[in-house]
Structure 1
Amino acid sequence: MLSKLRKLFQKDQSTGSNLHLPDEEEQRFTLYLKDLKVGELSCEEGIWTFSYSDEFKARSDEFYPIVGFPKLDKVYKSKSLWPFFLIRIPGLGQPRVREIIKAEHLDINNEAQLLRRFGRKTIANPYELTV
Structure 2
Amino acid sequence: MPGPTMLHSLPLRHPKRWWALCVLGLAQLMILLDGTIVNVALPSSQTELDMSDGDRPWVVTAYTVASAAAGVAPTAQALFAARAVQGAFAALLAASALALVATAFTDPVERCRAIAVFGALGGAGASLANA
Name the TM-score, length of structure 2 as normaliser.
0.27
Higher helix fraction: Structure 1 or Structure 2? 2
Higher strand fraction: Structure 1 or Structure 2? 1
Name the TM-score, length of structure 1 as normaliser.
0.27
